[in-house]
Amino acid sequence: MARHETQHPPKVAVITGASSGLGAELARELSRHGWSVGLIARREDRLMTLADEIRQAGGRTAIAVADVSDKAMLLAAFDSIRGELGAVDLLIANAGVGKPDFLDPFTVDDIEQMIRVNLLGVLYSIAAVLPQMIEQRRGHIAAVSSAGAYKGMPGSAGYCASKSAVSTLLEGLRIQLREYGVSVTTICPGFVRTDMTDVNSFRMPWLQEPDAAARKIVRALNRRKKVYNFPWQMALMIKLLRWLPDWFIARTLPRKSDVVRNNE
């Protein structure tokens, strides 16, 4: 049904990390399918540019600036968007950060930041929409985890740990929320071209463009998939890696974890 023929108010989706990359493409894709989209991110200028683009195409949107690791700020952002667009039907907790691990010195601060953004940011986002979804006995919660959630990789142990925690959190909630009519989807992509991956110096197999990845994710959400692993080649490779002995991985993969941090 075309947007102008819709007889009911458009459903409302809220996306965190919406200012660029996968989050921005998810907003564009959902808007094309008639959704009202709430956009949350730290960079207000990019949010405003994206919102103008969506409105010019005939879509309905609202923006709110927030750091997902700041619970009070994030909850206020969701309240602001609800005030403009209405109750949230779909949450896509997309905001995330990735940094390599170093051993000398051990990068505890970077790992802490990844846990705050990648895990707590998802937790706070869910907390912002869950009471309303339970009360209405409908809704859909999705979060972007990673193919890296399935295997702790050398040089990315902190990132993998944060994403593994996200997947485990959603798995438990998915089972618990069945009786309330709330769906939960865990999204586990491989490499997607974004600002975060653009800094990677290593080869990224099966690198996906964000617009193509967004289309695949929206199709998976429409099917209410429990877990969506893609591309299939990456999903298969990760499954195989889980069975390989540590000594083989240590010999064959780049030893990023042994790199000394440049203190300049």
Please report whether residue 135 resides in a domain: yes
Q: What's the pLDDT at 1?
A: 36
Please report whether residue 119 resides in a domain: yes
Q: What's the pLDDT at 264?
A: 30
Q: What's the pLDDT at 237?
A: 75
Please report whether residue 3 resides in a domain: no
159 catalytic per annotation: yes
Q: Report CA-CA distances (Å) from 48 to 28, 53, 87, 99, 166.
A: 13, 9, 22, 27, 29
Which residues of the chain are under the pLDDT cut of 70? 1-9, 194-207, 253-264
Please report whether residue 252 resides in a domain: yes
Please report whether residue 151 resides in a domain: yes
The domain spanning residue 219 has which CATH number?
Answer: 3.40.50.720
Query: Could you say which of 150, 159, 180, 228 is catalytic?
Result: 159
Say how many domains are in the chain. Answer: 1
Please report whether residue 221 resides in a domain: yes
Q: Which domain holds residue 225?
A: 9-258
DSSP H stretches of helix in the chain: 21-32, 44-56, 71-85, 108-114, 121-136, 157-176, 210-222, 232-241, 246-252
Q: 38, 29, 52: which is closest to 89 by C-alpha?
A: 38
Please report whether residue 2 resides in a domain: no
Q: What count of other Cβ atoms lies within 10 Å of the Cβ of residue 201?
A: 7
254-258 long-range contacts, CB within 8 A, separation 24+? 254/155, 254/202, 255/154, 255/155, 256/100, 256/101, 256/154, 256/155, 256/156, 256/202, 257/100, 257/101, 257/102, 257/103, 257/154, 257/155, 257/157, 258/103
Q: What's the pLDDT at 152?
A: 83
For 104, list phi and psi in degrees, rounded to 5: -140, 95
Please report whether residue 1 resides in a domain: no
Q: 36, 94, 84: which is closest to 64 by C-alpha?
A: 84
**0.85 exceeded by pTM:** yes
Identify whether 105 is preceded by a cis peptide bond (ω within 30 of 0): yes
